Structure 1
């Protein structure tokens, strides 16, 4: 359980980042390549890019520093809106900070490598090699998806604003990750690790990532606030869909928010289909339909009820309001 203890001052200083951070997204991309919970098609897409000799060489030092959990050293992923500014912050990291962060990731299970020793020893060649690796990996894994990452970020902010209007700030924060809840002024986020974070008036900066599928991550920022990174509502795999799903209009706002397939799932939920009927109507597998329904359910848009051997999906009140706000409701295909 991740328990974040808020003061009244902290609750008055909850804000979102201005946009995705290039080096944060790079670290997450490196972690995602090592994870097993990424959507298969998206993982194959990323791994095909990483298969080139140059990219593979660039990833080798980064995978020594970034585990699948995404909890790499803080000096590697400064919060910046520009790649060059971010790399300058990496180059200017103090040696004491670098050493303490390398100690931390090794205590958490990463093996000590010659690269780590060289970085800690301020070896100039090692730092040049690290920067070259970061540039090459960024070009292969982040730059090509940057438009979708920005779209996912903007869509998540729009959705969180809608949730906050409906359920207030506490409801919005509890909805960032499934299973989260408030205990007084403490936000409890349902993760596997045990961590207590006590805020002292610095506030919280929220950063959604469309490519991250792991547990929320947090860490201190130089201004004294806490960075809380969490998976965006619509994953990059959905934003990168090439073909529109049947029944979905690629120009509608709802498709931009949820992705075309999930937009179609939500509209079909108006007639309370089963998982099999969703799959049949949208031309997708039952497993994929179930995954989309689960994501919408976690966002509070869908309710699922078992009836005999099947389950039926219906819109929640929030789902209905989102559909109404996006555009006037249109006819929905009949389910057979």
Structure 2
């Protein structure tokens, strides 16, 4: 990933901020981290579940995640229903999407000559839309139980962001939302191959907690629609219990029964290198507690540590990955 897109917000204390508990961004992140080659940090057992649900329809998703283009037309995302946080409305809108709307958005984004990877869509837009809507419906049915199990965490996050906005402490909160988000108090930068620039221009800025992985990063800044940013839900690792539909507190989670809930969550979070401080934030525990559990996992050759500058990163070992595959 090279380059950043930048949203010029002006003074963050003056921005109208809301939180949307919309699962549409989560579905996109699950796909991006499983089939799109994006570093969203989706745990492997969830990746297997996503891949199984999508099956042979994976081919229709390729235009959305080309290595050189990160553009997904707004009509295919949850942008239009973000304010209402209504999954039923989002899925219905997808099923009823007019071919012309999709083609118009593609032309507005790319001009009259579409990139090659969008040609199959433009050739048979109606067929492609129906297939895409079917994928999103199946994925929602598979993961809706996980989403419901996260309700308490989601509500707490909604309160946390709301409190920061009311107390004018949003500038201090933003850097902790995501490792991939950069804020200087007057603008926000996020990774994007196209490296575009946008102005908030008095619009509402909506934050959308995402339940997928610690690297989740999605956004839509285009005018005149709403501006929104999807970021990892804090303590997302606590939800990585079963393949899908079971939280880590479920007694059917074999990995948690063998290692304990916290250590099981650490192994699932450490599929890609992650700083211990970030790990603690995702698990909603202190850095010393996270470090203690990492010590025990390292002693069992399930986790390795590496220093990167001032930070210590942990990553699951081959032996840990094998254990995860067997018990997850």
TM-score (norm 2): 0.62
CA drift at 1:76: 1.4
- Count of aligned pairs: 276
Residue deviations 1:38-75 (CA, integer Å, cap 9, x gap): 558x22443245336xx413443234445578742221
Q: Cα gap change, 1:179/1:118 in structure 2, threshold over 3 Å: closer, same or farther? A: closer
Q: Summarize deviations over 1:175-212 as a string: whole Å, max 9, x none.
A: 32237554462234566652322111012011121215
Indicate the residue corresponding to 1:62 in structure 2: 61
2:219 maps to 1:218: yes
Aligned positions of 1:40-119 closer than 5 A: 42-48=43-49, 50-51=51-52, 55-67=54-66, 71-79=71-79, 80=81, 81-93=85-97, 95-103=99-107, 104=109, 111-119=117-125
Kindly provide the CA deviation profile for residues 243-271 of structure 1, in whole angstroms up to 9, marking residues without a partner as x.
2765969xxxxxxxx889935663536xx
State the alpha-carbon separation in 2 of the partners of residues 278 and 167 from structure 1: 40
Please state whether the residue corresponding to 1:62 is helix, strand or coil.
Answer: helix
Q: In the alignment, what sits opposite 2:201?
A: 200
1:126 Cα deviation after fit: 4.8
**Corresponding residue of 2:176:** 175
2: CA distance between counterparts of 1:233 and 1:265?
A: 13
- CA distance in 2 between counterparts of 1:38 and 1:154 reads 22
User: 2:287: which partner in 1?
Assistant: 266
Equivalent residues of 2:6, 2:190 under 8 A apart: yes
- Supply the RMSD in Å over aligned alpha carbons: 4.6
Match of 2:268 in 1: none
Q: Distance in 1 between matches of 2:286 and 2:171?
A: 28
Q: Please tell me whether the aligned partners of residues 265 and 278 of structure 1 are also in contact (alpha carbons under 8 angstroms).
A: no
Q: Equivalent residue for 2:140?
A: 138
Alignment partner, residue 317 of structure 1: none
**Mapped partners of 2:261, 2:146: distance in 1:** 26
SS in 1 for 2:72: coil
Higher relative contact order (CA 8 A, sep 6+): 2
User: Which moved further from structure 2: 103-112 or 150-159?
Assistant: 103-112
Gaps of 5+ in 2: 242-247, 264-278, 314-328
Judge conservation of contact 1:27–1:70 (CA < 8 Å) in 2: no
Q: Give the distance between the partners of 1:195 and 1:231, measured in 2 at CA.
A: 23
SS in structure 2 opposite 1:112? helix
Report matched runs for 1:146-185 at 5 Å. Answer: 146-157=147-158, 160=161, 168-178=169-179, 180-183=181-184, 185=186
Q: For residues 64 and 179 of structure 1, what CA distance do their matches in structure 2 show?
A: 23
